[in-house]
A and B are shown apart, each in its own frame.
Chain A
């Protein structure tokens, strides 16, 4: 008895440990959703701030709505097609056809998600190239992808129901005078209903949670919740996402508890009466119907009123976004202000109510943007690439002129807000104007003053300093990472020599062991929390990091590397707003309005140019901004860093010496090849992992061989072969259990009674 108790205790402790493991991260995110600061690793006090911000976050709410619409639509369509298919496949007489169909059906379930995702992307891109459309990726393609991966699950949950059904039933119905259609609707359909419902619910949940496949098939102007979470986890901490997850968690928990309680109530009564069964059915049907109607309603209501949509694709953390400022008051939401402003203008112009909507999505590097544009996920009206990328986009005809230089003031009335030296930058000084500068700045190094010796500070070498091994962050994009190496070596960053790139690669490979990780916008988190001490990044973001870190008691500083006489040796860059080539004439007008709005300094609309400059800390090329006293006051003495005279006075010259230029195709290929080679280079060949794997693999093989030999030996011992019981494993039921709690399945239980 003692022993048994002991075993039981061990069991419960073990179970408890596993559940702690499963719930630890969830507990963390629920706890930190109540954090008063934006830190994700130090709890600084209780507040409901992130819940408030969540409900004010229009983009997240929009993503939530999109996800629901997508899930409902894909679930319904795949259930209809899948049920019909299960019916047809079950009735197939031709064995080969039947097996063939089933194996093809199972492919999306067996294939890794990433392969399914890219295979569909390749198809869509191909179709896009045939119909010559750059905007093929979008809601439609994601819907198709979701239906495709939902289908096998629907078929696999409906199919067994057809198999279980007495096949004489439909025959009897036919004999009694039913048409085949009637026999299907009145006799077979009710029998398979539980399978259909579980298939529907499974398809719904799968689609709701899918990230990988959506990630590859999604286009501009449409964002699902998982995709939004993905792009947010690439940026600064986002406790409002934690808040959302906490809400989802609690609501599912409540749902499960309620269904659990109600189902155990039912059990006591043992058998459901006919009437109760009907009620359950009605409740289920009406719940799903309500969701479907709601989404349909949302869908229609958005398409009924006339809406002008502007799709903007910008860098992460690169606009004043309406989040809460230091004083707890929300800062200007520039996109919302634009919606208000432009809706008013349009409504006056056309004399009817026109709604304006900005679809604002973000990218992490110029190369990401390029891959998106080139890969068929167009549909953006305004993009914000950097200098060298603009050169390339112009060359490849991927962007169109905003207007000719003579008529720029008709297209962009506030164009003259730009300082003159920023009107004809090196990448765009022809007869047409392709770009309107958004910000400019330098690349420099942010470092943690508590850990980094002042003596080590000054040059690019800090990024290679072994003293700080494991605390250094490097850019996660080819151009900037190679830039740091080439500035360090004193090589021209636009060098046509393969040898130069090779040298830079070797230096970067040398650096790899001391690098903590390769990051883009993740840099905010890692530097502000003190997780990393040294990072090369863009000046404006660096300042923003310094201010935020200060709040958590982490002291950061910034410098740009200089030569002995104090001349900068670093990249000077400009980011500018452009209009992609595939934007229609009508959309172009809206795009121009958006670009112009970014230059505006007008109190009535929250002075977008100033609001942005205050929020993102990059240098503004806008005269009115730089002259604004409020703005200068808000910088609190940092204007010397942002508008460093050494940089500002020589900006044109610096652009000509240190800016990245568009590389020739050969050099670009070299760069990409070298980058790939750096990324796959293994600085940390982890011997122990391989040794352990091999030992375990050998042990398993030895075990199998041993079993096999034992079996053979026994077979020889006994005259008869031992009877092997072929146990079949019901995959569908397992899958159903995995995705849907048994309580939610209106499944077989009902059936048996």
Chain B
């Protein structure tokens, strides 16, 4: 018996050591850099710097963009996830495969390809012979987010919706629900866990992206991700970058807690 528990303990040991070394320690470094200045002395100067209006606007902008992208994804994805879930098993399989297929392609090159589509002299404008100004606008950045993260919304929604017992629809209709109420009273509440999971999986990458805003926003819409990336890759200001990441982490923890709470209230449990 003793021997057995030794094996059990040893089994998780490499992982625990690994986690401490490469998950916990790095996060401690982020906090360390966030609260020190360039000379390595403890200071709040970075956090104070982030309270400047211009940085606050970056945070506000990132939250708004990510929020809108998430809402749009949800609105677009819900009906399609529902249709797919109601399709025949064989069609379902093919459609889900088609949703996943773009995710196997590198997202950088797909975003780059949007650039070619949206430019003033780009493909859309030259096909339509129009002169819409699309690239380097807020709309283009949000479109990029929606495009890249839409499958992350469709898949969890589909996975929840396809598990709903079909007889529930029938029961609801038998009890006098019209199709509208079948969806709002039966389908929607049951799909909340999928919605929550989808929201998390779209919101977190959207709020921290930097490639999409660089390519489709033309550097006019700095997001949190861009600012962090710049501190580490060109400005060489690790302290500011770390404090920004720290705030981002806190921001995400807060929004996830709120969402988890709401999900619990409503009968869903996530992750």
Contact = CB atoms under 8 A, between A and B. Distances in A.
Contact of B108 (A101, A226, A707): A226
A680 B222 contact: yes
Contact of A738 (B23, B151, B242): B151
A384 to B, nearest CB: 17
A2 to B, nearest CB: 15
Contacts of A112: 204-205, 207-208, 225, 248-249, 252
Interface string A356-377: 0000000001011011001100
Given A144-B22, A738-B152, A531 B121 contact: yes
Nearest to A373: B236
Contacts of A41: 116, 119, 121-123, 126
A543 interface: no
A82 interface: yes
B233 A368 contact: yes
Contact of B102 (A22, A517, A530, A738): A22
A365 B234 contact: yes
Interface string A215-234: 01000000001100110010
B107 A25 contact: no
A122 B54 contact: no
A717 interface: no
A258 to B, nearest CB: 12
Contacts of A607: none
Nearest to A148: B22
A729 B194 contact: yes
Which of B234, B270, B271 is most buried by chain A, counting CB atoms within 10 A of its CB?
B234
B210 to A, nearest CB: 7
Contact of A724 (B30, B150, B267): B267
B23 A107 contact: yes
B15 A704 contact: no
Given A122-B30, A248-B104, A253-B101, A22 B60 contact: no
Sorting the interface of chain A by its residue count into under 10, 10 to 19, 20 to 34 or 35 or more gives 35 or more
Which of A15, A112, A148, A692 is most buried by chain B, counting CB atoms within 10 A of its CB?
A112
A156 to B, nearest CB: 10
B18 interface: yes
Contacts of A169: none
B204 A18 contact: no
A82 B15 contact: yes
B106 A211 contact: yes
B51 interface: no
B169 interface: no
Contacts of B232: 118, 121, 216, 371, 375
SS class, residues of chain B in contact with chain A: helix
A181 interface: yes
Interface residues of B, number: 128
Interface in A230-247: 230, 233, 241-242, 245
Nearest to A477: B234
Interface stretch (A85-93, A425-433, A611-619): A85-93
A364 B243 CA distance: 26
B53 to A, nearest CB: 9
A12 B92 CA distance: 13
Contacts of B120: 531
A440 to B, nearest CB: 24
Given A114-B229, A118-B241, A151 B18 contact: yes
A260 B159 contact: no
Contacts of B197: 729, 731, 734
A110 B27 CA distance: 13
Nearest to A679: B222
B205 A731 contact: no
A162 to B, nearest CB: 11
A708 B94 CA distance: 39
B18 A110 contact: no
Interface in B82-125: 83-84, 90, 93-114, 116-117, 119-123
A370 B227 CA distance: 18
A21 B147 contact: yes
Nearest to A117: B232
Nearest to A93: B5
Given A110-B256, A122-B30, A123-B26, A85 B108 contact: no
Interface stretch (A404-412, A491-499, A683-691): A683-691
Contacts of A180: 3-4, 7
Which of B58, B147, B271 is most buried by chain A, counting CB atoms within 10 A of its CB?
B271
A111 interface: yes
Contacts of B104: 205, 209, 248-249, 252
A727 B197 CA distance: 13
Given A81-B15, A726-B267, A115 B10 contact: no
A725 interface: yes
A743 B97 contact: yes
Given A81-B14, A737-B155, A26 B27 contact: no
Contact of B109 (A87, A108, A241, A676): A241
Contacts of B27: 107, 119
B223 to A, nearest CB: 10
A148 B29 CA distance: 16
Interface in A160-216: 174, 180-181, 184, 205, 209, 211, 216
Given A41-B122, A118-B232, A25 B68 contact: no
A737 B160 CA distance: 12
A697 B67 CA distance: 9
A536 interface: no
B71 interface: yes
A87 B64 contact: no
A469 to B, nearest CB: 11
A256 interface: yes
A727 B195 CA distance: 13
Nearest to A733: B159
A42 interface: yes
Given A101-B19, A230-B211, A731-B270, A119 B29 contact: yes
Given A14-B80, A25-B117, A144-B22, A118 B245 contact: yes
Contacts of B98: 19, 22
A14 B83 contact: yes
A115 B110 CA distance: 23
A24 interface: yes
Interface in A504-526: 512, 515-519
Contacts of A565: none
A724 B264 CA distance: 10
B220 interface: yes
Contact of B105 (A40, A108, A245, A365): A245
B9 A260 contact: no
A713 to B, nearest CB: 15
B269 interface: yes
Which of A115, A209, A226, A374 is most buried by chain B, counting CB atoms within 10 A of its CB?
A115
Contacts of A107: 23, 27
Nearest to B100: A741
A26 B102 contact: yes
Contact of B215 (A22, A32, A233, A697): A233
A15 B205 contact: no
Nearest to A108: B23
A389 interface: no
Contact of A29 (B30, B96, B109, B217): B109
11 contacts: A22-B99, A89-B12, A114-B208, A148-B23, A180-B4, A365-B234, A470-B136, A676-B235, A679-B230, A689-B68, A726-B267
For the complex of A and B, 6 pairs with smallest distance between CB atoms: A88-B12, A517-B218, A85-B15, A88-B11, A729-B193, A112-B208
